[in-house]
Chains A and B, each alone.
Chain A
Amino acid sequence: MVASRLNALLNACLPVVFAIFVMGFVWEVAVAFGEVPQYVLPSPSGIIAAAVQRFPQIADGLWITTFEALAGFAVGSVIGLALACLFLLVPPTRALLLPLVVALNNVPSIAFVPLALLWFGMGPASKIAIAALAVSFAVLLAALEGFSRTEDGQVNLLRSFGANRLAILWRLRLPAAMPSIITGLRIGLARSTIAVIVAEMLGAYKGIGQIVYRATAEMDSLTVWSAILVSSATSLALYGLLVLIDRRLVWWQ
C-alpha cells in the first residue's frame, strides 16, 4: 500500500523534476556560451546560491506577499461565488448586474492600483483589495459556467420532489459546478499573485514586489532573480496544494 503510494508520488514528481533540470541546464549553458552578463541575466546556479544566502531578507517579503495574495484570493473567491449564487437565485440581478460586473472586471485590475493605494493606503489592505478584484471575476465566470452545466432534467426531477431553488443550488448545481469552480480558483490564484506584486511595486512598505523594485534600482540582479525564484516556488507550492484539494474534494468528475 505504502509502496504503491510512493510509486505514484514518484511517478508524478519525476517528470517535473526532470523538466526543471533540463530547463535549468539549457539556461546555464545559454548564459555561459552567450556570455550574458550577470546584471542582465544571472545563471541558475548563481541565482540558487544567492537565494540561499539572502533567504532571511527575502522570506520577510515573501511572508507579506503570500499573506496578501491568499487573503485577496479568499475574499475574491467568496465574492465571486456569492455573486454567482445570487445571480442564480435571483435572476433579475443577473440581467441587471452581470453586464456591470463584466464591464468593471474588464478593466485590468492594475488600472485600479492607483485608486486602491489612494483609498487603502500603502499597506497590505490595498494589495488584498486588488487581488480580490482580480480573482472574483475568474471565480464568478467559472461558477456561472459550472452552474449552467446542470441538466434541466435533473433540475425538474428535484423540483418534482418539492425542492426549492436554494436546495437545488446546494444539492445539485454547486456540486456539479465544482470542477469548473476549481479551474476558476486555479487561475484566480495565479492572477492574484501577479496583481499583488504589481501593486507592491508601485507603492508598498514590504513584500516581494518591493524587494524586486529596490534590487532593480540597486542593480542587484541576483536579488531580483532570487526573489522571483522564491516567490514562484511558493506560488507553485500553493498551486500544488490547490490541486491536492481538488483531487480530494472533487473526486468525482
Chain B
Amino acid sequence: MDVSQYLEIFIEETKEHLQSLNEQLLVLEKEPDNKETINEIFRAAHSLKGMAGTMGYKRMQKLTHDMENVFQEIRNEKMKVSSTLVDGLFRGLDALEEYLDNIVNNQDEGTNDNQDIIDLFQKELQDGLSGGATPEASAPASTEASAASAPAATATATAAAADPKELLDSFTLTEQEKNLINKARSQEQQAYIVRINIQDTCVLKAARAFLVFKAIESVGETIKSMPDAQAIEDEKFDFSFSVVITSKKTMEEVQAAVMNVSEVKSVDIALIDESKCEAKAHEEQTADKAASGTANAAAAAQTKAPASTSKKPVVNRSVRVDIDKLDDLMNLVSELIIAKNGLVSISPADLVRDDKNSSFRDQVEYLERITTNIHQSVMKVRMVPIESVVNRFPRMIRDLSKKLDKKMELFMSGEETELDRTVIDEIGDPLQHILRNAADHGLETNEERIKAGKPEVGSIFLSAYQEGNNVVIEVRDDGHGIDVEKVKAKALERGTITPDQAETMSDKEIIDLLFRPSFSTAEKISDISGRGVGLDVVKTKIEALGGSVECRSVLGEGSTFIIRLPLTLAIIQSLMVVLGNEKYAIPLGSIQTIEDIPTTDIKYVEGKEVINLRGTVIPLVRLDKILDVPNSKQDQESLTVVIVAKGDKQAGLIVDDLIGQLEIVIKSIGKYINNSKMISGATILGDGEIALILDANTLV
C-alpha cells in the first residue's frame, strides 16, 4: 500500500511526539516517580511505534519498541529512573530524530540500525529487572509490553464474535443515549448496533473509520461509538469498532452502506430492541462506568495504555488560529459589509446636497474604525507564541550540561509572548547560538563557581516580553561575564583595532567587537561554540529581521544578551517626511531624535558636514542630494534633521519637512528596479499615493 500521501501527517505527528517525549523525559529525570509523566511518555512512545510501523519504517519501529519496553518497566515500577538510563533514552530520541530527518529528506529512514542503543536498552532492562537477568528476560518483557500496549478500549469492541446476541451484550447505553434511541424509534426509526471489522492490511485506520462514519451518516445517525469518537480518531482501536446508530433503513441497507467503504472486511449488525433500552436502565450505575465512551477508555487505560487520560500535547502542527481571533475577524467583516451597505444606500443626489454630507462622513468614519480593527485582528492571527521556538531549549541545555560537565539550569519566562510568524521561523538559530555561548563561555566550571562563592549550579535565564512595538528576548547567565581586557588584547592581536583605538574605546564598544566577523575569545575551540563564526551571524540574522542585539556584561557577575525584534515585519511605525514634492517614510525604530539645527551650526570635518549635538559629532546626510530629489527647499536658515542610529553610529538626515507619525504597511517594490538598497520598500498612503521607505541602516 502506498503510504506516501500520509507522509506529511506522519512527519508532523512524529515531530510532535518527539518534542513531547523530550519535554516529558526532562520532567521524569527530575521527578522519577511522576506517574502522569511516565504515562504520557509511554503513550507518546507507543503512538510513535505504531505510526512508524504503519509507515513501514522498521528500524524506527524497532527502536521505539525497545524504548517502550523500558518505559513499560518503569511504569510497572520494576525499574528505577537513573541518569544513565535517561541519557540512553535521550540518545534514542536523537536517533529517532535522525530517522525522521532522513525521512524528511529522502523519504527513507536510512540504514542506521542504532543497535548500540537497542543493546543499551536491553541491558538496562536486564539490569533493572530484579531476578532473571538472562538475555532471554528481555524477550518476554517485550512481548508482554507489546501485548499490554495494544490500543486501549478494544476489549469491548473486538472480543465479541459475530453472534448478534453477543454483539448486543458487548455494550451498554447511558440514559441519555436510550432517550435518543427511544425518540428515534417514535419517529419510525430503528436502532442498530453495528460492528465494523477493518482489514488487517489497512494502513490508516482512523481515516477508514472516518469514511465509515460518513457512510453511516448517509443512512442514519450515530448515537455512540465504542471506543469513543476521540479514541477512534486517535487510532486507539484494533481492527474493529462498534457504533450504535438509529436509521430508517433496514438492517441490510445499513450493512450494505458500510460495506461500500473500501478496506472494510466485514460488518456485523444487530437490532437493538426495547428490552435492551429498558433492561439496562437498572444496571446503569454499574454498567455506566465501563460503557460510556470516555470512561470506557479510561477504565481500560488503567490496565492498558494510558490512552485518553492524558491530554494532547500542544505543539504547533500547522497554522493554528485561536477560534476567538477568527470570530473577531468574522464579526468585523460582517460590520464591514454593513458599512458598505450604508455607503451604497447614500444616493448620489444626497452627496450633492450639503446637508446630507454628514451621513456620508459618518459612514466613512465608521468604515475607518472597522478597517483599523480588522487590521489589528488579522495581525493577531499572524502572531505565534514564542514557545514554539524555545520549547526545545531545556533539552539542549541538559545535553550541554552533560557534555561540558558543568551544572546548569535554564529558567524560561514569557514563553507566551507572541511574535510575527516570519520572525518566529527565523529566530530559533540565533537564540540557540546565544544560549550555547552562555553555557560554554559564559558559565564557569563547577570548581570555579564554588571558588568564586557562587552556587555550584549555573543559571541561564531566557525571558521574553513585549516592550512597546518591540519584543525583547533576554538571555542572561550568572557566569563570569566578558573580560573586556581579554577582548581588547585579542582585538589588538588580530589587528581588528589599532592600539590608539583601543585606548579610546569604551567597554561597550569593546564588547561590541564580539559581533564582528571571525572574533571568538574562547581559548579552547569546542564543538559547542567558539569557531568565531557565531555572534556576527547572530547579529546579521537579527538585523535582517529588523531587530537589534546588544550585549551587557559585568565581569564576575555574568552577561546579558538583549535581542529586540519588531512585533511584526509587515507593519511598522514610521515618520513621514517631505523632500521636494516627494514623501518618504523613515522607520521609527531607527530614529533617535528630531532636531532643528541652524545652518550656522554646521561644521566641516574632512570636508563633510557634521553637527555637534550635545557633545556628539554626527555626520549630516543631505537626503535630497543622495536621492536626487528635484525642487528641494533645504537652504533655509534652519534645517530639520532626523537623527537616526544604527548600533552606536548615528547620522543626521536633512529633510525638508515633517508630516508626522504613521503606521505603514511595508510592500516590496519588486526585483526589477535597481535602487542601491537605500529604499527598503514602499507603502501606500491613504490617498493611494505611494511613499518609499528609506532604509536608515544604509544611510548611516
Bind each other: no
